[in-house]
A and B are shown apart, each in its own frame.
Chain A
Amino acid sequence: MLAVRLEKPNNLDEWRGKARRLLVAGMPPSQVVWRTGAEENGLFEAGDDMLPSADGPVGSVPRQFMEVATSVIQHSNPDRFAILYRVLWRLQSDPHLFANAGDRDNSLLANMASAVRRDAHKLKAFVRFRSVPRDDGEAFLAWFEPDHYVLEATAPFFVRRFDGMRWGIVTPYASAWWDMENLRFGPGGAKSDVPAADAVEDDWKTYYASIFNPARLKVAMMKSEMPVKYWRNLPEAELIGPLIRNAKAMEQEMIERTATQPPARHLRQQARQPEIEQKHELTSLAAAREAVQDCRRCPLYEQATQAVFGEGPAQAEVMFVGEQPGDQEDLAGKPFIGPAGQVLDEAIEKVGIDRRRVYVTNAVKHFKFEPRGKRRIHQRPDMGEVQACRFWLNLELQFVQPRLVVALGATAAQSLLGKSSVTISKLRGQPMEMEDGAVLLVTNHPSYLLRIPDAEGRQRERAKFEADLALARDLLADLEKSGARRGSA
């Protein structure tokens, strides 16, 4: 039997040096015992000075082993060194050991590593510093009792977090000190090394008691995340008992006590505020634009961000009517700013319609979609929704009084013609007269052009679209020349 001696309880490099030598010597795990610090060797154990000192070749170990060993070496289990060596030994003949989640050693290491990670996490969470006045400013000291040897590996976290602060953390087995320049480790200590109180602790306890909601008592949950063994070093823990004991009574009191009369301040405030129930009077385009935000004529408002009203000069000569706002339009609250809007803009410019005379809007003012993960998939509005929204489109027609209206796509045409089904190819190119005297033209929605997969077809359809817009341009010129009366309500 060979006794291997380690100086530190948790130094992976030290263990690794010895383990390499054991491997080189071909020493099976059953022949090795591990001793730390001042533990004495057994009567029949040889010291590890027997080991070959030269570094012979040893096989490589998987990355997962080093990762898990970094944690496992900090575990308080006295067998940790032996377990690690046993796994190292097994890896020589079974390099895929880590892929087998069902292997006993593998799950043992995983459990130990997770216990260490949890302990390190609790150290980060439950250290409570207390202020100590010093000649060179303030220092902060904490006493903490970890289950494992986690201080050294966790101290750099505190360095990164508390750079501009002098601090020390004392545990039973070691201590860590930061002087705003260097991190040093020292011997362990006792609770009495750290001050017994801190002026800010009363505020912290006030906060702890106030943030607690007595109506949601879940003691088991608290205990599983903040086990009782930590409580003796947490200043707020002394409140736990009383808070739990009073919780039911506090909740009951809230439930039973009926509301009191509102304070005078509230009544004054209410008097100052304009009537909220005030109904919009729809006497102008601006008023309609304001009122559409409260529209409840169909259920689409519920999921959309906002209603997207038309945009353009209030006395525009031509009005383009699309289907409904898309994702981008819904977010920005403006019509035709997405990819389809770009197609429309290009065509308008190409055929030479003056942008300053154009009003753009949609048959349906709210975006209809189907949520799919992080995206919203466009859904075609149904006839009921189109019908409901004609109220707003009619208001826009009534106030803008365009000479010419261009329906982009079937939904717009349905709305403007009051028909439940239309075929664009049959209607396009034929100016129609609307009830109010304005001229109506029907063409495709620009998003249709974007959906055509082949370049040739896309070009053909784009040409047709532009021809329709050119017709609109010419019609508009004729209408102006003949002095046709603008549409009116």
Chain B
Amino acid sequence: MVSLSLTRKLAILADAAKYDASCASSGSEKRNSAGTGGIGSTEGSGICHSYAPDGRCISLLKLLMTNFCVYDCVYCINRSSSNVQRARFSVDEVVRLTLDFYRRNYIEGLFLSSGIIRSPDYTMEQMVLVARTLRETHLFAGYIHLKVIPNAAPELLVEAGRWADRLSTNIELPTDGALEQFAPEKRPSEIRTAMARLRGKLDEATPEGKTKAKPAKFAPAGQSTQMIVGADGANDAAILTRAAGLYSGYRLKRVYYSAFSPIPDASSRLPLKPPPLMREHRLYQADWLIRFYGFDVPEIVAGGEEGDLDLAIDPKLAWALKHRHDFPMDVNRADRDRLLRIPGLGINAVDRILVSRRHHRLTLADVARMTASIDKVRPFIVCADWTPGTSLDDAKLRQKLVPTPTQLSLF
């Protein structure tokens, strides 16, 4: 076989890695290289070092160890039946690239995934070896995210958690039926079992109550997963139900939703059209409302039609428009849980309202200063100098609140 240059391999194996949406480098332990002679730090919030024209942040060096794969998952660019060019990094090559990029301040760390070669264990071993070499040989204290191969040996999982900040296992598709159809070699219960195992390790690493003994470190930034949206026929209700189940069962930090986007040499079984980016955006908003705003899945979904979210307006506004009898809410009286249900008010705005209203009764101008979108808020609130009158009953309220589409600038 013709040997490829490192740059060519980088092009192939970064291209192959870009369909994984996660680029988070936040939420790990506080750690730095001061006094160690090494390099690297994680200080809570991650840093986006660049942005690609797709609007996505570049925080981590996102690579595949190899894009050779024995699996034939229809939605995947690396499936064994695809004719994409194949390449494979050595452990040292990935280590060198990571350090070279990190020293120049291009990245926060490494996100390493891989196609499955030889066996799940062998593949996982290679990834663990990269992480261990970075940590032990090069005293690298930057962020490391490793993809977990679901059926790799549990010992490898333990070692991966020792070196990595975050581990992830992709659920891939929202329903087991779709997964079986599109990824015949993957077993849904195996994927969830891997997440359950990770949760077990994460629980063990969290000191309980008053115990003094410090448990061994395990993936301090927790675990996450990704679901592809729009490759199969699942509706938003199915997607969000799946997500809520995963959050409750496996203590996931994040579920990433990745709009299915056309891939080179794609199978004809897939919807080859531009990725449903707005749908992806609405799902993230709904996910947020479920995790931080006290909404449950049926409530959110009921804001849309037939199990799908309303694409034209955000899910909270959609919910509020269908629950007008709950409004207007008095921002000077309503409790926190109620305030969080007002369209256009985020957690920060609500907390500022709660602090400010202790000192004086809030006016519409006060509220306007605390939010970015008073137009969206106004019909739903009462404050010192404002009541919405009959506008809440206006049949055209939705129409008035739908943002006017703006032409996206091309450059």
Which positions in A face B, CB cutoff 8 Å?
Answer: 96, 99-102, 107, 121, 124-131, 140, 142, 157, 159-165, 180, 198, 200-204, 206-222, 225-226, 234, 236, 240-241, 243-245, 247, 251, 254-255, 257-263, 265-266, 269-270, 273, 276, 293-294, 301-307, 327, 330-333, 369, 371-376
Contacts and interface: CB of A to CB of B under 8 A. Distances in A.
B24 interface: no
B34 A236 contact: no
Given A131-B104, A374-B248, 19 more contacts: A99-B356, A128-B104, A140-B103, A140-B104, A163-B32, A164-B36, A203-B6, A203-B101, A211-B15, A211-B58, A213-B19, A217-B53, A218-B54, A222-B52, A247-B53, A254-B263, A305-B196, A306-B193, A374-B251
A128 B106 contact: yes
Nearest to A272: B70
Interface of B: 6-7, 10-12, 14-15, 17-19, 32-41, 43, 47-58, 61-62, 70, 72, 80-83, 97, 100-101, 103-106, 139, 175-176, 184-185, 187-189, 192-193, 195-196, 199-200, 241-242, 244-245, 247-249, 251, 259, 261-268, 272-275, 277, 291, 297, 352, 355-356, 358-360, 362, 365-366, 369-370, 408-411
A210 B104 CA distance: 19
A254 B266 contact: yes
Nearest to B197: A331
B369 A107 contact: yes
A42 B372 CA distance: 42
A161 B39 contact: yes
Contact of A101 (B55, B199, B277, B356): B356
Name the residue in B72, B247, B262 with the highest tally of chain A Cβ atoms < 10 Å from its Cβ: B262
Contacts, number: 275
5 contacts: A125-B50, A203-B6, A203-B7, A215-B274, A218-B408
Contact of B247 (A163, A214, A255, A371): A371
A107 B18 CA distance: 40
Nearest to B365: A102
Contact of A163 (B17, B39, B50, B275): B39
Nearest to A276: B184
A306 B188 CA distance: 9
Contact of A160 (B7, B33, B410): B33
B37 A163 contact: yes
A306 B7 contact: no
B355 A101 contact: yes
B356 A165 contact: no
Contact of B104 (A129, A180, A222): A129
Contacts of B411: 219, 241, 244-245
Name the residue in A180, A234, A306, A371 with the highest tally of chain B Cβ atoms < 10 Å from its Cβ: A371
Identify the 7 closest CB pairs spanning chains A and B, nearest first.
A221-B55, A218-B55, A371-B248, A262-B81, A210-B14, A160-B32, A216-B54
A218 B259 CA distance: 14
B265 A259 contact: yes
Contacts of B366: 101-102
B187 A207 contact: no
A293 B249 CA distance: 18
Given A247-B53, A371-B245, A212 B70 contact: no
Given A130-B104, A293-B187, A372-B248, A212 B409 contact: no
Given A216-B261, A218-B53, A210 B18 contact: yes
Name the residue in B53, B57, B58, B370 with the highest tally of chain A Cβ atoms < 10 Å from its Cβ: B53
Contacts of A293: 187, 189
Contacts of A263: 81-83
B55 A332 contact: no
A306 B106 contact: no
A214 B106 CA distance: 21
Contact of A331 (B17, B196, B245, B274): B196
Given A160-B33, A222-B55, A262-B80, A99 B274 contact: no
